Amino acid sequence: MSNPIRVLPLAFLLSVAAAAQVPQSIPNGLPTWAYNIPDKVQPPTVAATGAVRLPGSSQEYDATRVASGSNPPDWFPDEHGPAPRVVKGEAGVALQACGACHLMSGQGHPESADIAGLPVEYVVRQMKYFKDGARKDDTRMGPIAKATSEEDVRQAAEYFAAIKPIPWVKVIETSTPPKTYVSAAARHRLVVPGGGTEPIGHRIIETPVDPVRTANRDPHSPFLAYVPPGSIAKGGALVKTGSSGKTIQCAICHGDDLKGLGDVPRIAGLQPVYIARQLIGMQNGSSAGTAAALMKKVVSGLSEDDIISISAYLGSLSPQ
């Protein structure tokens, strides 16, 4: 491989970053709550400036560095091994690094995948699916995969596989979650200024525990996931026994503790909204590949409420 080819796809090209913006719409018929489409009316915000510090971290970054997609902050460098440039990026280069969306910890936010501790070959395989179009995400991961070399993909996969995942989301059953909106800047839900509640309906609502720390890409600041009452127990029954005649039984492939088995990834402790989005993608064919094709048969009979319940249950489990 020649040097120009090796350097160019080191992370995500600027043109890719420009294309990899928040989706403004989703295919007809899919539930909007599972996709972080920004609200048309956004509360006023003030851009952060100056030096930024986080609790427990000895690091300090300028606000522009914190917001950087090409050189994201690494608040706790002692908590992971040496990061390849495809993950950490570098200053002065118009590239977007893996650590920008997935964080240096791999835990990510509801709009991105939690890839901490996932098997190397699984991550490599998913990137190939994105590149080939078997797994469709024309807004972000498709262009990213096409612009990233196989060597960089493997280096990133090995880096994230070595990180032990931590509990990252607390699932709360309630009929009246906080009133929220989807932030265009954050790409996930935030509590509206002034507070208040609203009916949960048939949704999963995820918000940061501390939106400021989350905005600063703090890998120690987790999320809350609000789900309809009874969801966790219903999801547990579906996952364990395939209740209501629906054959799910996730342990067959993902292990008895659902923390992964061989190259099959863990599903315990993932972001509930992310899990739901993947199940929906398998149902409608936007997530394909060999495993997804098999999963499509498994999930084809699930209702939207089933998906919400399964996602709530899996999200409530410890990833460790």
pLDDT under 50: residue ranges of the chain: 1-22
Cβ pair 246, 302 in contact under 8 A: yes
The confidence score (pLDDT) of residue 192 equals 96
The confidence score (pLDDT) of residue 244 equals 62
The confidence score (pLDDT) of residue 304 equals 92
For residue 286, which amino acid is it?
Answer: S
Residue with tokens 């995948």: 113
The enclosing H or E element of 170 equals: strand 169-173
The confidence score (pLDDT) of residue 6 equals 30
The confidence score (pLDDT) of residue 93 equals 59
The confidence score (pLDDT) of residue 163 equals 97
The confidence score (pLDDT) of residue 138 equals 82
Q: Tokens representing 279?
A: 């199940």
Residue with tokens 């394909």: 288
The confidence score (pLDDT) of residue 27 equals 60
Domains of the chain as residue ranges with CATH: 3-161 (1.10.760.10), 169-316 (1.10.760.10)
The confidence score (pLDDT) of residue 115 equals 97
The confidence score (pLDDT) of residue 29 equals 67
Residue 194 region, left (φ>0) first, then alpha (ψ -120 to 50), else beta?
left
Query: Using CB atoms within 10 A of its CB, is residue 231 exposed (0-12), middle (13-18) or buried (19+)?
Result: buried
